[in-house]
Structure 1
Amino acid sequence: MSPLASHFSLHLRELRRRVFIAFAAVFLAAAVAYFFSRPLSQLFMVPLFAAAPDLTGLVYTNLTEAFIAYLKISILVGLIGAFPVILYQAWMFVMPGLHKQEKKLVLTIVFWATTLFIFGVCFAYFVVMPRALMFLMSFSGENLEALPKLDSYLTFIVRTSLAFGLSFEIPFLMVAAGKMNLVAQDYFIRQRVYFYLAILVLSFLLTAGDLFSAMLLAIPLFGLYELGIAVMKIFLWRK
């Protein structure tokens, strides 16, 4: 075997080992989370019961719906719980090939990307969800009773939270593009209208076409876009 082929084979085996450890961590974390799926689901329901105190509970209309919903929660929590392990395995795989400055850059990117994602999820859960659910539940009245389904509600909560988490990366991506000179300093100002349209399309895609959720997501995204421009002015333009 040639030295190049041997080197490639060594890296491939290392990649397999790292991926296997990451998958094993997700599986174990999800298995543990499944035993706590009921209290975890109740945690997700807190915003709903706060918005509708008279609501006695959620319903499920399919025999397997509750099981599938708990399984989804377990996998999601498993991914979150195993994220440090996944991140560590990825870092240990790429670290040997990086220079000192590249290692510093990667750590900076991971730190800010993770921080902004967590802020986005927390913003969705603590700020957006209570107000959105209060508005949606307000349609219930004398002749109209709200009977939220377990799977639909949990899907709505998780999808919206993840959408906000990903969307909070926008300012970071804008500053990174400016820092690496991929775009001109005033690019995002000149292209504001097109990016606003792209945000609307992205919001519909991230929320699977749910009009109300898309609007809930699009409005903060406009603010984040303007925040990205402001940060670029402060840290890049003054140079």
Structure 2
Amino acid sequence: MSDYNLQKTIPALERSLAFFRPHHLELRNRLVKVMAAIVTCSVVAYIFIEQIAQLFISPLIAANPLVGKLVYTNLPEAFVTYIKLALIIGLLASFPVILYQLWLFVAPGLRKNEKRLAVTVVFWSSILFAGGASFAFLVVLPKMLIYFTSYANEGLEPLPKLGLYLTFVARMILTFGISFQIPFLMVMSGKANLVTASYFRSKRIYFYMAIVFLSFLLAAGDFMATALLALPLFALYEVGIFLSSLFNRKKEQTSEA
């Protein structure tokens, strides 16, 4: 490269770096706050980790009287499992903070009406996430455990491992927390004129295939667990189509009036 071209390139790079530097600093500040929230919630969760673990184990004990306790076969397994569980609980508890920091990072580039829409998304997304997590723990998990432990008998004693079981419960809670936002996100995409209800209807088969594939991954290859995860997601997708069509119809009637 000649000296003349180099002299023109360096100032251009400096201007580009100067343009992106404020955004880089803003992103770093938001990430620091997100990490601080996750760490703080994880530390608080670890303080009460024994109570949290007992809360997660109680549905398993109630599902079958033959399941009297959990086991671990590796000496550090219990300690590592509690650390992982505390991190997952910290991530779940800090979900509203993560959404809020994301909104603060994006908000300066949005118009006033778009900012109000973002606040609505953050609020209802957090509510639906908590609702999905509660539904998974209080409704779906007990039924799944009753089915999975129904094979146990006096000659076949279940000895679930501590780490695998707690990971299974945490993964299910996270999955349903995210999946319960599907109808709301579909409605919001329609209100933002991004996607219509007819698009979701026409692409139903592809979304169903994606749901099955995602459920298979989250269920770690267990076909029964995959079915139990996929069926509620199918129902939520259909609810999202109905609500998206309903709200879009109201929007069209308002526009005509």
TM-score (norm 2): 0.83
- Once the two structures are superposed, the pairs formed by residues 200-211 of structure 1 within 5 Å of their partners are 200-211=212-223
Q: In structure 1, what is the equivalent of residue 72 of structure 2?
A: 60
Work out the CA distance in 2 between the residues paired with 1:89 and 1:186: 33
- Unpaired stretches in structure 2, ≥5 consecutive residues: 1-10, 253-257
Q: Secondary structure at the match of 2:51?
A: helix
Report percent identity of matched pairs: 50
After TM superposition, the structure 1 stretch with the greater mean CA deviation from structure 2, 208-217 or 50-59, is 50-59
Decide whether the 8 Å contact of 2:72 with 2:161 is kept in 1.
yes
Q: In structure 2, what is the equivalent of residue 187 of structure 1?
A: 199
Query: Residue by residue, what CA displacement relative to the aligned partner does 1:195-230 show, whole Å, maximum 9, x if unpaired?
Result: 323322221122222212111111111211221122
Q: Secondary structure at the match of 1:27?
A: helix
Q: In structure 2, what is the equivalent of residue 125 of structure 1?
A: 137
Would you say 1:90 and 2:128 are equivalent positions?
Answer: no
- Unpaired stretches in structure 1, ≥5 consecutive residues: none
Q: 1:159 aligns with which of 166, 171, 193?
A: 171
Deviation of 1:106 (Å):
0.6
* Aligned residues: CA RMSD: 2.3
Q: Secondary structure at the match of 1:186?
A: helix
Q: In structure 1, what is the equivalent of residue 24 of structure 2?
A: 12
Would you say 1:27 and 2:33 are equivalent positions?
Answer: no
Q: 2:188 aligns with which of 156, 172, 176?
A: 176
Q: Secondary structure at the match of 2:166?
A: helix
How many residues are paired up?
239
Structure of higher CA gyration radius:
2
Q: 2:120 aligns with which of 92, 108, 111?
A: 108
Decide whether the 8 Å contact of 1:31 with 1:74 is kept in 2.
yes
Question: Relative to structure 1, is the Cα distance of residues 12 and 229 closer, same or farther in structure 2, using a 3 angstrom cutoff?
Answer: closer
Decide whether the 8 Å contact of 2:100 with 2:122 is kept in 1.
no
Work out the CA distance in 2 between the residues paired with 1:87 and 1:232: 23
Question: Relative to structure 1, is the Cα distance of residues 191 and 151 closer, same or farther in structure 2, using a 3 angstrom cutoff?
Answer: same
Q: What amino acid does structure 2 have at the position aligned with 1:196?
A: Y
Work out the CA distance in 1 between the residues paired with 2:43 and 2:192: 42
TM-score (norm 1): 0.88
Question: Relative to structure 1, is the Cα distance of residues 184 and 99 closer, same or farther in structure 2, using a 3 angstrom cutoff?
Answer: closer
Q: What amino acid does structure 2 have at the position aligned with 1:9?
A: R
Question: Relative to structure 1, is the Cα distance of residues 235 and 25 closer, same or farther in structure 2, using a 3 angstrom cutoff?
Answer: closer
